[in-house]
Amino acid sequence: MESRIIYHIDKFVAFLLGKENENDPEQRIYNKLLRLEGDELKSWINENLKKYIIFSGYYDFQWLEGINNPTRFEIWYTIYSLKKNSNLMHYVEIYDRSDPGYTCELQEIISKLHNYQPIKRNYHEDLDWRLHIMTDYMEMFIMTMSSEDLKSYIMNQVDPIEIR
């Protein structure tokens, strides 16, 4: 289950910073990421890019490289998972209750999230708990990366290297 959630984070990051994002078809954000290094990279990633990806505090800085319409993971996932030829999994596939380890793995993910979150969300009382687990996991996944690790991760998602 955790690997399936990460798969969707990978796909979202590739979309958000890749050529298919209609809000940034010139890939201005991605190209800036490629140019920056050192302290300038660290500052820009921590103050802007991480917030842009997870859609947190976005309105604090309004514009990122001229992009004023960020894409929320929740909206992206909902729209693209319903498309016929989508490479995204539906909830039933991500949260596969037929898997014998389902309950343990779900509890491990929730435990990781609760260890990360200052205010713990009660997923068991949440109607959209599956989507909230995915978005909260994405926040934890992105926010805990160093700037260099996040840059490498993004480069691997946007321009994957083919192994031959």
| Statement: the pTM of the whole predicted model exceeds 0.85 | yes
Residue pLDDT, tens place only, 83-132: 888 899 999 999 999 999 999 999 999 999 999 999 999 998 888 999 99
128 is in which domain, residue-wise? 2-158
The strand pairing partners of 67, in sequence order, are 64
Q: How far apart are the first and last CA of the chain?
A: 28
Q: Is residue 164 part of a domain?
A: no
Q: Is residue 6 part of a domain?
A: yes
Q: Is residue 43 part of a domain?
A: yes
**DSSP letter string, 85-133:** T--SPPHHHHT-TTSTTHHHHHHHHHHHHHHH-SS---GGG-TTHHHHH
Q: Is residue 73 part of a domain?
A: yes
Q: Is residue 16 part of a domain?
A: yes
pLDDT at residue 163, as a whole number: 52
Residue pLDDT, tens place only, 20-58: 988 888 899 999 999 999 999 999 999 989 999 998 765
Residue pLDDT, tens place only, 92-103: 999 999 999 999
Mean pLDDT, to the nearest integer, of 122-148? 95
- The yes-or-no verdict on residue 72 having pLDDT over 80 is yes
Rg (CA), the chain: 16
Q: Distance between alpha carbon 42 and the CA centroid of its chain, in Å? A: 19
Q: How many domains does the chain have?
A: 1
